[in-house]
Homo-oligomer: A and B are copies of this chain.
Amino acid sequence: MSHLVIVGGSDAGISAALRSRELDSSTQVTLIVEDAFPNYSICGLPFYLSGEVPDYHQLAHRTHAEITDAGIDLLLEHTAQAIDPSEHQVTVVDGAKQLHQLSYDRLVLATGARSRRPHIEGLDLPGVFLLHSMEDSFQIQHYLTSHPVRSVLIVGGGYIGLEMADALTLRGLAVTLVEHGKSVLKTVDPSLGALVRSELERHGVVVHTGIGVQQIVPDEAELCVSGTGAYGARTDLVVVAVGVEPRTELAQALGIELGTQGAMRVSRTMATSIPDIFAAGDCVETWHRVTARSTYLPLGTTAHKQGRIAGENAVGSERLFAGTLGTQVVKVFDLVIARTGLDDQEAYVAGFDPLTVSETYWDHKMYYPGAQSVQIRLTGDRTTGRLLGAQMAGAVQTEVAKRIYTGTRKVDRSMR
């Protein structure tokens, strides 16, 4: 009986575990999870912090029982400390600091990402939080319920920053959002970013762009935030969400080759540069279908698909990861913004000769009751006429999400 050891219990790790057992039930699968929350949706944290998901257990895609019933050995609150690839051994530390040696035949590294820590003084102060893990959200939740918090300043106008601005406004806080770039949501073009900004402001969020936050200093019960351009603000809470970076300490110690933005380099079979070690998810490079190159694009849907491929190949298959289109959808209050493929700048960098056009469309026939407009930007290649990417923005009712992405999720037995 061969033994598959998987490090990491989020989307990629769980997918790898389930897929390997599905294909080969003779394989012993051990999943090492550093916290007590395997297969939780970290994408759902803003909805927990808004109060819309009252019980954090609802964020679990599966229960412990469902995972172990699939024949997976779950080692919760265990940390993989070292890996010896020549001996095929993993050194694991349990919650009581005891060391254990696990032998593996194949290994999947699904160590994920962590919040990027920007160069801001005061990041470790009480009331200042990064947001990536379940534990982060518990700390924020605890702080919010144990302190008289009325205002929050969010550093970063990307997906998480925007979702948190929405969530904490819904929770009744006065929200300020500070973004270093010239517009919010830099993953879409500035004209769509401007729509997002209007939507934030329409809901009372104060938005500052072009400001680099430099320092957070406590002053009585408040926090003083200062930044470039003589920026200054006082707030009760600071949430820093300026992106993520791959967690690759284990991989680096092993000598696994790294690539773009420090993510592990993997083949399209999700194999690393070390034999018998696969990797998947937010810790690895991602094959992009449009550029036919690797990039770093940490997304839950991608992690899930890569994990499946890693799990499948770890039990002897030779499947290739089909690659990502970088499809992303975010809702900010009543506005939905979606993108897929490349934008103009990305297309240019990838060596295309891009042309991007913008147009306003109706979501229904114009006479249709409640018809609303949708902004669409399309990027194509002048040389070949090939469609390279699309961006859209529209009210929730305009079904923008499903104009870009048609996926659905199966309702399983327990109908959670």
Contact = CB atoms under 8 A, between A and B. Distances in A.
A312 interface: no
A406 interface: yes
A47 B365 CA distance: 11
Given A53-B367, A367-B59, A361 B411 contact: yes
A71 to B, nearest CB: 24
Query: How many copies of this chain does one complex carry?
Result: 2
A374 interface: yes
A359 B364 CA distance: 28
Nearest to A360: B411
A44 interface: yes
A147 interface: no
Given A401-B399, A402-B399, A365 B44 contact: yes
A409 B47 contact: no
A15 to B, nearest CB: 15
Contacts of A373: 411
A152 B195 CA distance: 46
A363 B47 CA distance: 16
Give 4 nearest A-B pairs by CB, closest first: A402-B402, A399-B402, A361-B408, A52-B369
Contacts of A374: 408
A350 interface: no
Interface residues of A, number: 34
A406 to B, nearest CB: 5
27 contacts: A41-B365, A43-B365, A44-B365, A44-B367, A44-B368, A47-B367, A47-B368, A47-B369, A58-B366, A58-B367, A359-B410, A360-B411, A361-B409, A361-B411, A362-B408, A362-B409, A362-B410, A362-B411, A366-B409, A366-B415, A366-B416, A373-B411, A399-B399, A401-B402, A402-B403, A403-B406, A406-B406
Contacts of A59: 367
Interface of A: 41, 43-44, 47, 52-53, 58-59, 61, 359-369, 373-374, 376, 399, 401-403, 406, 408-411, 415-416
Nearest to A53: B367
A363 B399 CA distance: 12
Contacts of A399: 399, 401-402
Contacts of A53: 367, 369
Contacts of A406: 402-403, 406
A409 B44 contact: no
A359 B413 CA distance: 11
A411 B368 CA distance: 13
Contacts of A403: 402, 406, 408
User: Which interface residue of A359, A363, A368 has the most chain B CB atoms within 10 A?
Assistant: A368
A408 B43 contact: no
Given A41-B365, A52-B369, A369-B53, A376 B408 contact: yes
Contact of A409 (B365, B402, B410): B365
A366 to B, nearest CB: 5
A369 B333 CA distance: 13
A43 B61 CA distance: 42
Nearest to A368: B47
B369 A408 contact: no
A131 B406 CA distance: 34
A248 B41 CA distance: 59
Nearest to A410: B361
A47 B403 CA distance: 24
Contacts of A58: 366-367
A374 B366 CA distance: 27
